[in-house]
Each structure stands twice: as C-alpha cells, then as structure tokens.
Structure 1
C-alpha cells in the first residue's frame, strides 16, 4: 500500500467482500421505506371510495384524492434526487421520511376535503423520495448479484401491498378510513427511529472526495461480513478516467488520495443545482436513454396504479348499475379482490428474479409488457367477476415484473454524480402517469366506457414495451459507473 503499486474502486471492494450481514441490514432499512411507500399508495384504493361516501363527493373529487398524491410525488421525486446527489443519500431519505410520516398521520385528522387534499399532497412529496432509498441500497450491492438482490428489495413493495390490503380488510369495516390512514403512516416513522445507524453510500463519499469516510464505511462492511478490504488505495472510477486522459501514453500509476480529493470535487461542482443535473441527463450520451426511460416509467406507473384501481372498479361498475344495494356489496368484493390481486405481485417477483440476470433487463421487461397486453385484451368487453379477477391477476403479475426490473435498470444506466437525480426525474415522469390513471380507471369505468379504458391501457403498455427494445444497451453484469462517459459504454457481449 505504501509503495504505490495498487488501487481499487468501490465496486472492486464490494465484489471482494461479497454480500453479507452488512447488506442485509441495509436491505432491511431500505425495505422498510419501500413497505411504507407501497402501503401509502395502496390505501388510495380504499380511502377514495370511503371518503366519497362519507362526504358526498363527486367521482372527480374522489379521483383528485389520488391525483394530488402523484402531483406531490412528481415534485418530490425530482427534488429529493437532487438533494441526495448533492448533499448525500442519508439527508435525502431523512427529509422524505419526516414528511411522509408526519403528513400521513395528520391526514387521519383532516376536518374537511381541502385539508385532506393538502396533507395527502404532502405525503406524495415525501413518497417521491423512494428512488433515493433504492439507489442507496443499489450502491452497496456487488455487481454480480445486483439484479437478484434488487428483486429481493422489490419484494418489500409486495409485502407492503399485501399488508395494506389486509389492514384495510380488517380496519375499514369497523374503524373506518381515518384509522387506516393513521396506521399506514407507522412504517415510515421506523426510518426515523433507526436513522442514526444508517450509513452513507461509500460510492457517493468517494466521488465527493471524502475517501477517508468511504474507507471507514467499507471497513465496517468488511468487519460485519467477516472479510477484508483489498490492499491498496481507494479511488473512484472518475478519478481513474481523468488520470488516464491526462497520461494517455504512460502506464496507469497509483493515484494518491490527495489527487482523488482535489479532482473529484471540482468535477462535482458542475453538477450542483437542479438545472445542471437535468442538462447532464439530457446530454448527448444520456439523451436517448433518458427519454426512453421517461416513457417506460410513465407507462409502468400508469398501468400499475391503473390495474390496482381497476381491480375494484371493474367488478363494482362493470354493468353500470349504481344501486345502493350493489354499492354495499361491491365494497366487500373490493377488499377481497384487491387482497387477491395483491398476491399477483409474488409471481411477478419470482419471474423477475428468474429472468433479470439470465435474459437481461431489456428482454425481461419487454416480454412482460407484451404479455400484460394479452391478459388485458379480453377485458375490452365485460367478463364474469371470476374471469375479470383472474385476468387482472395475470396483468398485475406482468406489470409488477416490469416495475421491478425498470427500478433495477434505471440506476444502472446513470453515473453516481446524477444517479438519484436521474432515477428521481424518471420516477417523476411515472408520477404523471399515476396522476392521469385515476381519470381513466375511475372516470371512464364509472361512465360506462370500459372498452375505451382498456384500449387506452393496451396502447400505453404496448408503447412502453416497444421503447424498452430501443434502450441503447443492456446493463446485465455491468459495474456501476461514476462518470457520464463510462456509463454510456456498453459491455462487450451485450446489446
């Protein structure tokens, strides 16, 4: 180490130490945030109809309760990505947890419709920080097993949806929607309780030139995992690349920690601020990936949340009869069907785990999008309740798989300097899809336009699948990059 003969990157250190106890603890913490977001999103299926009945709201007002959450997420996804890229991953998810838990609990005491909208919008702002937690966890995983463990991480979302469906089934008929809102805010508060022991991303610290802090965390990883750090000096990919460019004719030499700390912050200065980060996402080397990713996130969110809402709406209004007797019956059916459909995410996760590191991200995603279209096609006309639930179960399985894989793919195509901003902005595009989908899933079905509603879903899902095929490169097996130029280089052997 003292003779200047060796160097290693964060990726090489993680591969050397492997996936162990440290990553399990990080997984548990990040997973709790994912459970929280899933529960807050799933409760929209139950709160909207309950509040509409209690306060005599119109269908448009009911839809707005869902839409304002996505509007808040649109703001939060972009904002928290910038915060975490410039001030650290920990600060990013600390603020989001505070807003989500606080506004979520207070919304249970909303005295009127307007206050409920404001508080649910604030919950959405907090939920927009979800991509920060996923990117944070991703940066602790060794590259060879990244796909598999990101699928495991996604399982926490499924756990959250099942917990929320179960909670609603027991709480709503007896205690009502206010108790559901209050209890659903509990998981996000756990992030605050254990925040003090959550480590910062060593990759982020290394890129910022804070190599001493990064090494301290990597040493903790090695200690908990029962392994050792590689010998040599820790450097970032960006530092290595700058060194190679400045000395193209010389053999690669050891870069001192002083050089690493001097060069990297200057490079990062150009990334400070939201405008410059967005411009980097739209730079020539990332432009096509960014635009295609936006379309896929929009289609994924539009389809996923639309299917969640359709599970209750199609059975409740499929024959366009709105008698009081049917309304009472359909409420019980909604709990049962949403609970059943929530389990569709389990096979979706299994499919993701089986294909993401074998077939690759692109083929796995596109195949699931096209299969989802096939499941939805019979629903252009009214089907019996059992068949409707089965078809929605299949469609939900497919869309869960695509959602899982796109959250693996998105952080992999961006460099560390704009990773959470890139995923955050893409997620924000998805929130726009989430804002629009209630107008389709609720309004069109309520208006006896089931065929038009399903056909619109078909078009959006098909377009998303086609966009996946046009992604510039496959990321299976790639190491995470620190610079824009290295992030746009495909790995040999992959499309």
Structure 2
C-alpha cells in the first residue's frame, strides 16, 4: 500500500516537473519572439534612417509644400506667357502713336521671343551650374524692371530694344521652371504636376484680354516723369504682378533637392527633404525619419566650371540623348510656331473681322486683304490722316473666351495624361489643331472661322505634354540645359511664325495658314521614334549620371 502511495507521489512530482519545463520552454520561446520583434524593429528603424534618395523623397509625402511649389511655378509660367504675348494687345492701340507698320508690328511681337532665344543657352548653363532657384529669382525681378521701362518708349526702336532685354531676362525662368517643378515632385506625379502648372499659361489668355478690356479703351492720360501716360502704357505695368509675387514666394522656397544631390551631395539635399516633410506633415523638420541618404559609389560628374559643363553638354549630342534632342526640339518648334506665332496676330485679326463692314460671308483672309488694300489706298490719298488705332471692344471678351477654352484643355490634360498616355494625347491634339488651322483660312463664315482659330491655338497646350515627355530622359546635371534649349528652339518657332505671318497675311494668307497647319500635323510622325525612357535612363546611369 505504501509502495503504491510512493509511486503515485513520484508520478505527481514528474508531472509537476514536466509542467515547469514546459512553462520555462514557453517563456523562452516568448522571450525569443520578443527579442526577434525588437531586432526586426531595430532593423526597420535602421533601414528607415538610411534610404536611397528616391525612397527618402517618397517619405516627404505630397501636401501643402507641393501645392505651394505648384502655385509658385504656375505664377512663373503665367508671367512668362504674359510677357511673351502681351504686346499683341498693345500693338493695335500704339499703332498711331509709335507709327507702327505691319513689319514693325511683327518685330515688336517677336522681340521678347528673340530675347528668350538669344539667352536660353546661357540660362540653361547657369541653371545647371548654380541652381534653378538661384537663376530664376533675380531674373524675374529684373525682367519686371525692364518691362515697366518699356512702357515709357517714345518710338518703335526704343520699344524693340527694351522688349528684347525683357525677353532675355524672362528666358531665365521660361524653361528652368519646368526642371524645378519636375524635380520637386516624385516620378509618379511629375507629368501631372507639369500639366497642372502649365494650366496657368491658359490663365494669361483670360487675364491679359480682361486687363486690356478694362484699361486700353480708356481715353484718360496723366503726366509721369515727363511722359504722357496713356492706357496702353499703363497696361504694360499690369502684367508684371505675377512675376513679382512668384519672386517673393521663391524667397521662402528652397533649391531643388535633386539639383543639390547632383551638384553638392546628399548632405545638402537632406535638409530640403526635411523641410518638405515638415511642411507636408505639419511637424518639425527634426521629425523627418531619414538621417542619411545612401548614394551610389559612382556619382554624377563633379567636374566644375565651364569645362565640366561643356563635357556634360556634349552628352546631349551623342546617343542615346541625341535622338531625344532632335525629336523633342523639332516638335517644340512646331508647337510654338503655330500657337504663339499665330496668337500674337489673333487680336489684330479679330479686330479686322469685327470692324469689317462687308455684309457677305467672306473668309478671314479676304477680310485681311480688304483691310490691307483700304489702308494702302488711304495712305496714298491722305498720308497725314491715314492712321486709325481704334480697337473693337468685342475683341477682348472673345479673347477671354479663348483663354477659358485653353484652361479647359489644360485641365483635361492634367486629368487624362496618366490614363491616355503622353504620346497619344500629344499626337491627337496636334493633328486636330493642324487641321483646324487650315480650315480657319477657308471657312467663309466669321463665327466658324473664329472657332477654328481658337481650336488651332489649343496646340500651345501640347507644349506641357512635350515637356513632361522630355523631362524624364535627361539627367539632373543636364535637365535645365535641355529644357532651356528645347524652349529656345520653341521660341524660335514663335518668332519665325510671328514674322512670317506678319509678312504674308496681307498677300498670301491662305498659303500661310495651310503651310502652318500641315507642318503642325505632319510633325507628329516624329513621336513614333521616341525611345523608351527606361532604356535611356539605364544607359545614362551606367555612365555615372543621376536622375
């Protein structure tokens, strides 16, 4: 009996021992899991503290900072557009006072474009050498000064020179702003950001005629610094405001972090990313979780000065970038030749249409030709009384309607560019606009012809798509230069278009419209040969260039 009791006690002790062992083993496993969790957390934290640049950029998020950048860059684009085409509203009003001929009008309208063309290469070099913000900020303030000075012109040559210098300074931000805006957004948001920013260009086509409507028809004047200030002179002052406001915003905004990474290293780019994070998340910069940006062993070229810039520029004229340069620059020439080249003449064309006394349905070209003959006959009969600079007030609401159409197109591009595809959207717009250009010259009805003119001018909206296509393939150290040269070629197209139309509208109107439309639609064939951006980037990164 006692033996049975001993055995039972031994079994119970064994059971307890097994329970204790199981408990210890369970605790041990639990502790191992806790330790593993801590190790994983430490590894995760270490991984977050050290990230490659693109991942560190993603951590900053998308919010108020990006919206401010978009607004500022939009105002810069608005300023560039208003400075470039604003003279088209001044020319009809200043025609008599400055004794402007048709050739003079063409030169005045093209002067800002010529200034932009002349200095784009220089500004591109300076933008890649000293930074996007560092170039744009002082140039915008100086361009406003020259623009205001041009309002005091007493003859056509003084006006031409001052508008030329205004264009030279506007050139600093005309293309650099696209590089700055693109580099302030992640790759997935870049195309949409450029499209939304470019929508501000369309606002210039509403604001300019609206201001002109308020100011130019006035009959008032006042003396200032020995000059008689009349409405068209004051009108020039009014379009300087966006540039000055955006310059004020740039005083607060930092330099592009991608540019700083490429030119100065990760240490300089990190504080900018921290500022973006703090503003987007409404917190302090010290809370930015990334402490170090990991860079590859092969950095972008550190060769400074002019020699390094020349070495980088030569890459644009060698494969794989050469094909991108030829295609994008030719297409931008076509876009600007039609949109800006034609636009500077639209107020004058509309003014002729609205002042036409013909009761028959005649084409735009016939109206222009009749006006030319009438003015030539008046000049021969009574030279001293030949000039009449009256502007039809209805030009302004029509021009504002045009701007509203452009705004809708730009906003539609921002919505659909990610869904339809950049190349397809670009080609569709350019083909439709080219056909509308040809049709505008042959339709014998004023309303239909005006509608086709507005549709033709929508080709300017395609420039933002082309910029979004091109900005992806150029490395950071070349991006400002590439964009500046591309827009330089585009402005050359605008200058060529404005001058050719000024020289041919009176005599060869239908031929001019047909050539412009055919060239615009036909140029889209080149987009078929655009290379895959991933392949270009991979090849350039193998050469040590960063994106």
* Short-chain TM bin: 0.7 to 0.9
Query: Is the alpha carbon distance of 1:408 and 1:401 closer, same or farther for their aligned partners in structure 2, counting shifts above 3 Å?
Result: same
Report how far residue 427 of structure 1 moved. Answer: 0.6
Query: Is the alpha carbon distance of 1:342 and 1:327 closer, same or farther for their aligned partners in structure 2, counting shifts above 3 Å?
Result: farther
Query: Is the alpha carbon distance of 1:25 and 1:411 closer, same or farther for their aligned partners in structure 2, counting shifts above 3 Å?
Result: same
1:190 maps to 245
1:376 maps to 437
Spell out, residue by residue over 1:292-337, the C-alpha distance to the aligned partner (whole angstroms, 9 max, x if none).
1110111111111133134334442632222479976763343333
Query: Is the alpha carbon distance of 1:387 and 1:366 closer, same or farther for their aligned partners in structure 2, counting shifts above 3 Å?
Result: same
Q: Distance in 2 between matches of 1:471 and 1:268?
A: 31
* 1:348 partnered with 2:417: no
Query: Is the alpha carbon distance of 1:385 and 1:271 closer, same or farther for their aligned partners in structure 2, counting shifts above 3 Å?
Result: farther
Out of 251, 254, 264, the residue aligned to residue 199 of structure 1 is 254
Q: Distance in 1 between matches of 2:544 and 2:494?
A: 29
Q: Distance in 1 between matches of 2:264 and 2:236?
A: 43
Out of 62, 68, 72, the residue aligned to residue 25 of structure 1 is 68
Q: Distance in 1 between matches of 2:143 and 2:539?
A: 32
Equivalence map 1:296-311=2 (5 Å): 296-311=331-346
Report how far residue 382 of structure 1 moved. Answer: 4.8
2:540 maps to 484
Spell out, residue by residue over 1:34-75, the C-alpha distance to the aligned partner (whole angstroms, 9 max, x if none).
111121123121122223232222111111112221111012
Unaligned runs of 5+ residues in structure 2 are 1-42, 219-229, 354-363, 376-385
1:266 maps to 302
Q: More deviation in 351-360 or 223-232? A: 223-232
**TM-score normalised to structure 1 length:** 0.85
Spell out, residue by residue over 1:438-474, the C-alpha distance to the aligned partner (whole angstroms, 9 max, x if none).
12333322x232211111112220232112222112x
* 1:170 partnered with 2:205: no
Q: Distance in 1 between matches of 2:166 and 2:540?
A: 33
Equivalence map 1:424-443=2 (5 Å): 424-443=484-503
1:364 maps to 425
Equivalence map 1:6-21=2 (5 Å): 7-21=50-64
Spell out, residue by residue over 1:164-195, the C-alpha distance to the aligned partner (whole angstroms, 9 max, x if none).
12111111111522111111122212233333
1:259 maps to none
1:44 maps to 87
* 1:136 partnered with 2:197: no
3-state SS of the aligned residue for 1:352?
helix
* 1:150 partnered with 2:150: no
1:99 maps to 142
1:321 maps to 370
Unaligned runs of 5+ residues in structure 1 are 243-262, 490-495
1:215 maps to 270
Q: Distance in 1 between matches of 2:232 and 2:408?
A: 30
1:386 maps to 447
Q: Is the 8 A contact 1:313 1:441 kept in 2?
A: no
Q: Is the 8 A contact 1:277 1:421 kept in 2?
A: no
3-state SS of the aligned residue for 1:272?
helix
Q: Distance in 1 between matches of 2:104 and 2:387?
A: 21
Q: Distance in 2 between matches of 1:423 and 1:321?
A: 42
* 1:161 partnered with 2:205: yes
Larger radius of gyration: 2
Q: Is the 8 A contact 2:504 2:512 kept in 1?
A: yes
Equivalence map 1:460-475=2 (5 Å): 460-473=519-532
Out of 76, 101, 106, the residue aligned to residue 58 of structure 1 is 101
Aligned length: 460
Q: Distance in 1 between matches of 2:100 and 2:390?
A: 20
Q: Distance in 1 between matches of 2:431 and 2:344?
A: 21
Q: More deviation in 203-212 or 376-385? A: 376-385
2:323 maps to 288
**TM-score normalised to structure 2 length:** 0.77
Query: Is the alpha carbon distance of 1:111 and 1:330 closer, same or farther for their aligned partners in structure 2, counting shifts above 3 Å?
Result: closer
Query: Is the alpha carbon distance of 1:3 and 1:311 closer, same or farther for their aligned partners in structure 2, counting shifts above 3 Å?
Result: closer
3-state SS of the aligned residue for 1:194?
helix
